[in-house]
Amino acid sequence: MPKLRVHNFTISLDGYAAGLGQTLERPFGAVPDPGLHEWMFATRFGREMMGEDGGGEGLDNDYAVAGDVGIGATIMGRNMFGPIRGAWDDDDWKGWWGDEPPYHHPVFVLTHHPRAPIAMQGGTTFRFVDGGIESALAQAFDAAGGEDVRIGGGAATIQQYLRAGLIDDLHLVISPLLIGAGVRLFDHTDGVPDGYTCVELVCSPAVVHAHLARIDS
């Protein structure tokens, strides 16, 4: 059975996935600099994603790479696509991910506002789903053609899928910094997300990797 997976989702030591006040210039809101994702930009995988050479190998890079393996489609919340709220008045906005987004497969964006698909360079197509998380998941599994589906984020999207008990693998990264206020990953989960156990817990010099898996998966 194909799985629903979350990878490399990074939170601060105080549990925040993003600071307050997302804007066009600050996709992660008010966070310290260097920020939550510095560990990723320091890996070879992260550098390649930005079209750059260099970057480290080792544990962090291994986890970064693993997040792409066997993934045939991605789901993301609307705030991970862009800072626009409400209706799509600006059709020129094609996401935060550049002309050639680092997905190379169908990406389903959760929204309450229908919009025509956008085909980007390199094989990524953004598809806008206004039918809820289960509809998005069914479409994503269909598009993935037998491969797994990944939830890119953000926190609110992961929370919705956790509440529905739909996530099989949840790989978290803890960056040891304090943000103080923002969007917590573990919030609004209606108690303990059911049936997860920690199957890997390791540190690089930079971050903690914690991999939760469903006990039955």
Interacting residue ranges for its own copies, rule: CB under 8 A? 13-15, 32, 172, 174, 176-181, 184-186, 189-193, 196, 198, 201-203, 205-208, 210, 212
- Tell me how far, at minimum, the Cβ of 182 lies from its own copies, in Å: 10
Of residues 87 and 202, the one with the C-beta less far from its own copies: 202
Of residues 69 and 178, the one with the C-beta less far from its own copies: 178
- Tell me how far, at minimum, the Cβ of 125 lies from its own copies, in Å: 35
Of residues 14 and 134, the one with the C-beta less far from its own copies: 14
- Tell me how far, at minimum, the Cβ of 210 lies from its own copies, in Å: 5
Specify the DSSP class assigned to residue 13: T
Of residues 138 and 210, the one with the C-beta less far from its own copies: 210
Phi, psi of 161, deg, nearest 5: -70, -30
Of residues 101 and 154, the one with the C-beta less far from its own copies: 154
Q: Give the Cβ contact number of residue 187 at 10 Å.
A: 12
Instruction: Please report which helix (H) or strand (E) contains residue 150, including its range.
Output: strand 148-153
- Tell me how far, at minimum, the Cβ of 115 lies from its own copies, in Å: 34
Distance (Å, whole) CA 29 – CA 22: 4
Q: Are 77 and 154 in contact (CB under 8 A)?
A: yes
- Tell me how far, at minimum, the Cβ of 71 lies from its own copies, in Å: 24
Q: Are 46 and 54 in contact (CB under 8 A)?
A: no
Residue 79, token pair as written in the block: 């705030």
- Tell me how far, at minimum, the Cβ of 84 lies from its own copies, in Å: 28
Cross-strand pairs, 131? none
Amino acid at 198: C
Distance of CA 156 to the CA centre of its chain: 11
Q: Give the Cβ contact number of residue 126 at 10 Å.
A: 22
Of residues 69 and 203, the one with the C-beta less far from its own copies: 203
Q: Is 40 exposed, middle or buried (0-12, 13-18, 19+ CB in 10 A)?
A: buried
